[in-house]
């Protein structure tokens, strides 16, 4: 099993994405995700599948796999036109010339149908070269796309006019300008649509651009003298040394070896205030050194960097389909054949039932084909999600899937862990007491805590660090309870909670006999009170769920304004409490420790901190990258307003087709105007989605 990520060019709308999705699923592939906005296609490749065969299949559908593949099929064919705007500019002079014969003063030579045919032919060839070929390929695969409607409409007008020309039937049977207008204006509409849709990717494109920069690589000559020369960061490898000067961008994930500086990590955290970094600190590729000069060693490159992982997360989230999109996808999947049926019915009813002339009946039928837009319904969700995810990412909020954006609208309860969530998790040892020698007590505690990722354990490991830790025969961390270990002499040590006492942070016992305890002090996050007050103002209940003692938990709860507290809870108890709360109403859980992971996974939405344990981050659907909860209200607001935008987009898309198709069928809409209106319907949705970038959401 292999996860494959491709870039596929040529997707214009969700119908294109559905076409590729159906093809890949038909080939037996699993976990297929296609995002037409970014051109990202991912799937799980089975052992008996060939990348080359799948790439060729996608090429046969009319798209191009831009990813590097060991096959000649990966090379795009040479094209005269590279985009719709170029096609529009080519077609425009011919179409404008054809339209001249419709002016009140007639240009006599343009009234000749053979001359009109000659002028229309280049436009028709270019149009069929794109719409016709795409339509044919999609029909051959049994998955008709939107271009089928455009191709049939323009082809019908052209063939009808050609028959009228050959049969010398008169000007009322010649509509070459209709063919040319449809093709030309659809090219214009699709170009404008593509530009509008690409704007929804603005924030993500900014991040992507941060991945390619020049780096000052450090090397040593034969005399061991330091030499510095510029290289593109794509050429860097793990272990390379780099010099990062004041004002430069960090070229890759690094660890500082020399120097100190202030670093702006706004592209990841949304916080413009520079962070102080010194020797042994980690640097994130893409951040900016605002003050100072550093020498650092590369720790990750390419797809392994933090920034690359963030972009991949966002792409995966864009490829996800929230529940509200499922109805639109089902309609889009059958839209083309249904519209063709409506178009045929329009012709038959107008001609036979309402005695409309054959020419007018055909024009109405063509207008129905051209005005119909499955793209709008398919674009409604992806466009809003692209903008919502882009704004969230800019502010340091990562959504692992698009479903979370929709689920936020129902959240009525937010549950907080205490340590590292409401508090900073930056502990200091306030006091300790032991019945054994102080150095021995510290040695035992350090030797136990060094194996834990809990914030308290990290603080102990930092403050009581020694060079001769105990080598345990066996050690085991019991989530939410403590650490148990056995030394080489068979003594059993336990550091953690005490069932009979809870006055202190942790107790140390040897062979079930208490030999000491210690207390830790933790500072409440500055933003905690304001975040809790905001949630209360939105009638969202807040709960503190902690494994710490009742006294310390209640003290923190009182300070930030939380009235409901569950204290001294094990991971299993946390899981049960979250399950009960979920059954009562949709619940979000905010946590950062290993013991929070099950509860985060169980909650309607799990929210983790960026400095949380790896397990907690993997269990959460949302990650706050700014080392705090200050952007939790923004995450909630973006989730709700993104869902609202999706509903507005879907409403417009449905109403557009419900209203436009009957108008076209009754003859109130000419095919040329219908072609332009079809393209601009998507622009309206894109503009409405882009509003999310500037809309007040909290």
Q: What is the mean pLDDT of residues 642-647?
A: 89
The Cα angle at residue 247 between residues 245 and 248, in degrees rounded to 5 = 60
SS3 category, 476: strand
Give dist(CA 12, CA 290) in Å, integer. 41
479 vs 30, which has greater pLDDT? 30
* Structure tokens belonging to residue 666: 């009754």
Does 2-74 carry CATH code 3.30.70.100?
yes
Sign of CA dihedral 629, 631, 633, 638: negative
Q: How far is CA 529 from CA 12, 429, 542, 549, 629, in A?
A: 47, 25, 12, 21, 10
pLDDT tens string 389-433: 888 888 888 888 778 887 888 899 999 998 888 988 778 898 999
The percent of residues in the chain predicted with pLDDT above 70, rounded, is 90
Pure H helices in 61-199: 84-99, 113-127, 133-140, 147-166, 176-199
By the 10 Å C-beta count (0-12 exposed, 13-18 middle, 19+ buried), 38 is classed as: buried
Among 272-281, 300-309, 353-362, 395-404, the range with the most confident prediction by mean pLDDT is 353-362
pLDDT tens string 108-118: 778 889 999 99
82 vs 640, which has greater pLDDT? 640
Q: What residues form DSSP beta bridges with 557?
A: none
By the 10 Å C-beta count (0-12 exposed, 13-18 middle, 19+ buried), 198 is classed as: middle
73 touches 32 (CB < 8 A): no
The Cα angle at residue 74 between residues 70 and 76, in degrees rounded to 5 = 155
* The pLDDT value given to residue 557: 95
Beta strands 541-545 and 564-566 are parallel
* The pLDDT value given to residue 580: 94
Give dist(CA 574, CA 589) in Å, integer. 10
Q: What is the mean pLDDT of residues 628-640?
A: 91
Sign of CA dihedral 338, 339, 340, 342: positive
Q: Where are the chain's structural domains?
A: 2-74, 84-201+314-385+646-693, 213-304, 396-422+527-630, 428-521
Whether residue 475 is predicted with pLDDT greater than 90 in this model: the reply is: yes
Q: How far is CA 388 from CA 395, 583, 695, in A?
A: 11, 28, 11
Backbone angles phi, psi at 690, to 5 degrees: -60, -25
- What kind and span of H or E run contains 255? strand 253-258
* The pLDDT value given to residue 70: 46
Beta strands 294-300 and 253-258 are antiparallel
User: Of residues 417, 522, 548, 592, which has the active-site annotation?
Assistant: 417
Whether residue 380 is predicted with pLDDT greater than 50 in this model: the reply is: yes
pLDDT tens string 237-248: 999 999 999 989
Q: 213-304 belongs to which CATH class? A: mainly beta
Q: How far is CA 387 from CA 13, 202, 592, 595, 679, in A?
A: 16, 8, 27, 34, 20
Give dist(CA 254, CA 625) in Å, integer. 18
pLDDT tier at 321 (50, 70, 90 boundaries)?
low
Give every CB contact of residue 520 below 8 A, 6+ residues apart in sequence: 427, 428, 429, 430, 456, 459, 505, 506
Q: What residues form DSSP beta bridges with 227?
A: 219
Give every CB contact of residue 140 below 8 A, 6+ residues apart in sequence: 60
Beta strands 214-220 and 241-244 are antiparallel
Average pLDDT, the chain: 85
Does 396-422+527-630 carry CATH code 3.40.50.1000?
yes
Whether residue 79 is predicted with pLDDT greater than 80 in this model: the reply is: no
By the 10 Å C-beta count (0-12 exposed, 13-18 middle, 19+ buried), 293 is classed as: middle
Q: How far is CA 479 from CA 104, 352, 425, 496, in A?
A: 85, 77, 17, 10
The percent of residues in the chain predicted with pLDDT above 90, rounded, is 36
Give dist(CA 350, CA 357) in Å, integer. 8
* The pLDDT value given to residue 71: 44
Tokens 């709960």 correspond to 543
Q: How far is CA 8 from CA 34, 39, 273, in A?
A: 9, 5, 38
* The pLDDT value given to residue 36: 79
243 touches 294 (CB < 8 A): yes
* Structure tokens belonging to residue 540: 């969202």
Q: What is the mean pLDDT of residues 1-8?
A: 84
272 vs 182, which has greater pLDDT? 182
* The pLDDT value given to residue 145: 77
Whether residue 614 is predicted with pLDDT greater than 60 in this model: the reply is: no
Q: What is the mean pLDDT of residues 96-121?
A: 82
Whether residue 48 is predicted with pLDDT greater than 90 in this model: the reply is: no
564 touches 540 (CB < 8 A): no
Backbone angles phi, psi at 542, to 5 degrees: -120, 140
Q: What is the mean pLDDT of residues 98-105?
A: 71
12 is catalytic: no
Among 39-53, 191-205, 232-246, the range with the most confident prediction by mean pLDDT is 232-246
* pTM (predicted TM-score): 0.72
Nearest to 95 by CA among 71, 124, 128: 124
The domain 428-521: what is its CATH number? 3.40.1110.10
Sign of CA dihedral 430, 436, 440, 446: negative
Number of separate helices (H) and strands (E) present in the chain: 23, 26
Tokens 């090379």 correspond to 75
* The pLDDT value given to residue 319: 66
* Structure tokens belonging to residue 55: 């790439």
Q: What is the mean pLDDT of residues 92-115?
A: 81
Give every CB contact of residue 657 below 8 A, 6+ residues apart in sequence: 372, 373, 376, 377
pLDDT tier at 72 (50, 70, 90 boundaries)?
very low
Give dist(CA 350, CA 368) in Å, integer. 13
Tokens 């592939």 correspond to 29
Q: What is the C-alpha radius of gyration for the chain, rounded to an integer number of angstroms?
A: 32
Nearest to 272 by CA among 263, 281, 280: 263
Give every CB contact of residue 118 below 8 A, 6+ residues apart in sequence: none
Whether residue 578 is predicted with pLDDT greater than 90 in this model: the reply is: yes
Whether residue 615 is predicted with pLDDT greater than 60 in this model: the reply is: no
pLDDT tens string 322-377: 666 666 667 766 888 899 999 999 999 999 999 899 989 999 999 998 888 666 77
Length of the chain, please? 698
Q: Which of 121-135, 327-341, 640-654 has the lowest mean pLDDT?
A: 327-341
Annotate 371-403 with b (16+ C-beta within 10 A) or e (fewer).
Answer: bbbbbbbbbbbbbbbbbbbbbbbbbbbbbbbbb
pLDDT tier at 527 (50, 70, 90 boundaries)?
very high
* Structure tokens belonging to residue 412: 């009525």
Q: What is the mean pLDDT of residues 528-536?
A: 95
């Amino acid at each position: 099993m292999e996860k494959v990520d491709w870039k596929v060019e040529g997707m214009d709308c969700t119908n294109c994405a559905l076409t590729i999705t159906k093809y890949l699923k038909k080939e037996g592939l699993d976990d297929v995700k296609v995002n037409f906005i970014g051109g990202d296609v991912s799937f799980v490749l089975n052992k008996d599948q060939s990348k080359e065969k799948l790439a060729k299949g996608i090429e046969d559908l009319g798209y191009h796999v831009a990813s590097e593949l060991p096959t000649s099929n990966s090379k795009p064919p040479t094209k005269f036109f590279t985009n719709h705007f170029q096609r529009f500019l080519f077609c425009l002079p011919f179409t404008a010339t054809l339209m001249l014969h419709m002016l009140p003063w007639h240009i006599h030579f343009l009234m000749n149908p053979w001359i009109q045919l000659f002028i229309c032919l280049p436009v028709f060839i270019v149009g069929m070269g794109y719409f016709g070929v795409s339509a044919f390929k999609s029909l051959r695969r049994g998955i008709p796309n939107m271009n089928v409607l455009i191709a049939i409409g323009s082809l019908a007008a052209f063939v009808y006019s050609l028959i009228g020309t050959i049969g010398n039937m008169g000007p009322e049977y010649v509509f070459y300008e209709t063919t040319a207008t449809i093709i030309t204006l659809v090219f214009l509409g699709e170009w404008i649509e593509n530009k509008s849709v690409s704007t929804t990717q603005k924030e993500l494109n900014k991040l992507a651009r941060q991945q390619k920069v020049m780096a000052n690589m450090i090397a040593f000559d034969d005399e061991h003298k330091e030499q510095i020369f510029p290289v593109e960061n794509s050429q860097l490898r793990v272990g390379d040394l780099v010099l990062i000067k004041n004002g430069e961008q960090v070229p890759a994930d690094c660890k500082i070896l020399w120097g100190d500086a202030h670093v702006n990590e706004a592209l990841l955290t949304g916080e413009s205030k520079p962070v102080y970094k010194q020797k042994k600190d980690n640097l994130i590729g893409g951040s900016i050194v605002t003050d100072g000069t550093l020498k650092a060693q590369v720790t990750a490159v390419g797809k392994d960097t933090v920034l690359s992982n963030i972009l991949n997360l966002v792409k995966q989230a864009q490829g996800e389909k929230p529940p509200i999109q499922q109805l639109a996808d089902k309609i889009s999947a059958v839209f083309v054949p249904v519209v063709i049926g409506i178009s045929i019915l329009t012709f038959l009813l107008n001609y036979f039932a309402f005695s409309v002339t054959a020419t007018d009946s055909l024009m109405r039928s063509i207008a129905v084909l051209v005005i119909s837009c499955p793209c709008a319904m398919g674009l409604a969700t992806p466009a809003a999600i692209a903008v919502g995810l882009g704004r969230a990412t800019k502010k340091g909020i990562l959504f692992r899937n698009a479903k979370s954006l929709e689920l936020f609208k129902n959240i009525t309860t937010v549950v907080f862990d205490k340590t590292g969530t409401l508090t900073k998790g930056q502990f200091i040892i306030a006091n300790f007491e032991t019945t054994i020698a102080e150095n021995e007590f510290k040695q035992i505690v350090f030797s136990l805590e060094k194996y834990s990722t809990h914030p308290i354990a990290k603080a102990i490991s930092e403050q009581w660090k020694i060079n001769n830790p105990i080598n345990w025969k066996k050690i085991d961390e019991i989530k939410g309870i403590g650490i148990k270990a056995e030394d080489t002499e068979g003594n059993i040590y336990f550091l953690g909670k005490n069932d009979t006492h809870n006055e202190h942070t942790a107790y140390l016992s040897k062979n079930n006999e208490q030999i000491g305890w210690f207390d830790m002090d933790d500072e409440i996050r500055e933003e905690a009170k304001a975040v809790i007050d905001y949630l209360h103002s939105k009638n969202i209940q807040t709960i503190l769920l902690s494994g710490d003692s009742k006294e310390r938990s209640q003290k923190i709860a009182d300070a930030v304004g939380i009235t409901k507290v569950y204290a001294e809870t094990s991971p299993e108890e946390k899981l049960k409490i979250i399950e009960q709360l979920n059954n009562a109403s949709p619940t979000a859980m905010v946590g950062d420790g290993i013991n929070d992971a099950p509860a985060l996974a169980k909650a309607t939405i799990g929210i983790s901190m960026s400095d949380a344990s790896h397990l907690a981050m993997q269990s959460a659907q949302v990650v706050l990258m700014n080392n705090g909860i200050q952007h939790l209200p923004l995450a909630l607001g973006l989730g709700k307003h993104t869902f609202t935008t999706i509903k507005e987009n879907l409403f417009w898309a449905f109403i557009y087709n419900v209203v436009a198709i009957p108008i076209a069928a009754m003859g109130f809409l000419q095919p040329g105007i219908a072609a332009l209106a079809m393209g601009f319907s998507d622009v309206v949705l894109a503009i409405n989605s882009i509003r999310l970038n500037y809309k007040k959401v909290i």
